[in-house]
Amino acid sequence: MKNTRQLPSLKQRALEILIRLQRLYPHATCSLHYSTPLQLLVATILSAQCTDERVNRVTPVLFSRFPDARSLANADLTELENLVRSTGFYRHKAKNIQAACRMIITDFNGEVPQQMEQLLQLPGVARKTANVVLAHAFGINAGVTVDTHVKRLSQRLGLTKHTDPIRIERDLMQLVPQPDWENWSIRLIYHGRAVCKARNPACKACQLADICPSAIVPG
Ligand code: SF4
């Protein structure tokens, strides 16, 4: 049976969700492994349609062979493809990584740019990747990262009716205070992996069930 209780307003609910998720996952952080902004950018490009766990298995060898923008820009494309093959869509990802690194060298003095508009110029970089890099490499909350977990949970929690990530992000930016934009995404991702899975969400065990309009509560 669906939750039919009177729920607080959208904004109150978003804040309450944030507080509870912070309590549940106090040490939540980006699960991709990297040591420089460029490596985070590359890891995030590789994480499209792939788990962070798999990306973390690929990047140690990749980054020891090609540690920076210059080496990636000059890499043999076939070698690069082979190194990232297991992350899926490897030809596309390798091409974008190399093109992005070339642009970083020619247009941005070899440094990953710290502005959303500039990041979005890089091949293979959309808002999701840009938000991750800005938040975790530079501590800048420019937007809300909307990945598959954030999308699913925000919809189930009734915080957006949209399916397009850009519109979902816009809705969430209205509901969540800016300093918490990345906290929100990371913790929702943790909750999506642990409890609110795509198939069979564990509503009975969920700490958000009383404020979730999609909760399947015992009838
Ligand atoms: S697990 Fe159930 S109650 Fe919890 S957020 Fe997902 S749909 Fe809502």
Co-location of 20 and 44 in the same domain: no
Tell me if 18 is assigned to some domain: yes
Tell me if 15 is assigned to some domain: yes
Tell me if 83 is assigned to some domain: yes
The domain containing residue 193 runs over which residues? Answer: 10-28+146-211
The angle that helices 127-138 and 37-46 make with each other, rounded to 10 degrees, is 150
pLDDT classification of 114: cutoffs 50, 70, 90? very high
Last residue of a domain, one of 119, 138, 157: 138
pLDDT classification of 3: cutoffs 50, 70, 90? low
- Residue 204 falls in the annotated catalytic set: no
Q: Please, what is the end-to-end C-alpha distance for the chain in angstroms?
A: 5
Q: Summarize pLDDT for 175-207 with one digit per residue, the tens.
A: 999 999 999 999 999 999 999 999 999 999 999
Per-residue pLDDT at 14: 96
Ligand 1: list residues with CB < 6 Å. Answer: 153, 156-157, 195-196, 201-203, 206, 208-209, 212, 214-215
Co-location of 156 and 200 in the same domain: yes
Catalytic hit among 52, 107, 128, 171: 128
72-76: average pLDDT: 98
Alpha-carbon separation of residue 213 from 1, 13, 17, 85 (angstroms) = 11, 11, 13, 40
Q: How far is the CA of 203 from the centre of ligand 1 (A)?
A: 5
Last residue of a domain, one of 79, 108, 138: 138
Per-residue pLDDT at 2: 60
CATH, residue 155: 1.10.1670.10
Q: Summarize pLDDT for 4-61 with one digit per residue, the tens.
A: 566 678 999 999 999 999 999 999 999 999 999 999 999 999 999 999 999 999 999 9
Tally of structural domains, the chain: 2
**Inter-residue contact 208 to 15 (CB < 8 Å):** no
Tell me if 92 is assigned to some domain: yes
Co-location of 44 and 128 in the same domain: yes
Q: What is the mean pLDDT of the chain?
A: 95
pLDDT classification of 216: cutoffs 50, 70, 90? confident
Percent of the chain, pLDDT > 90?
94
Percent of the chain, pLDDT > 70?
95
Is pLDDT above 80 for 101?
yes
Co-location of 48 and 110 in the same domain: yes
145-167: average pLDDT: 96
Which atom of ligand 1 is found nearest the CA of 203? 2
Q: Which two tokens stand for residue 44?
A: 């995030």
Task: Name residue, tokens 């929690």.
Answer: 157
Per-residue pLDDT at 79: 98
Last residue of a domain, one of 95, 120, 138: 138
Per-residue pLDDT at 8: 74
**Inter-residue contact 97 to 129 (CB < 8 Å):** no
pLDDT classification of 149: cutoffs 50, 70, 90? very high
Q: How far is the CA of 136 from the centre of ligand 1 (A)?
A: 27
Per-residue pLDDT at 175: 96
Co-location of 42 and 134 in the same domain: yes
Is pLDDT above 60 for 160?
yes
| Backbone φ, ψ for residue 216 (5° rounding) | -90, 105
In this structure, the number of other CB atoms found within 10 A of the CB of residue 150 comes to 26
pTM of the model: 0.91
Q: How far is the CA of 154 from the centre of ligand 1 (A)?
A: 10
- Residue 93 falls in the annotated catalytic set: no
In testing the pocket of ligand 1, which one of 1, 4, 157 has its CB within 8 Å of the most ligand atoms? 157
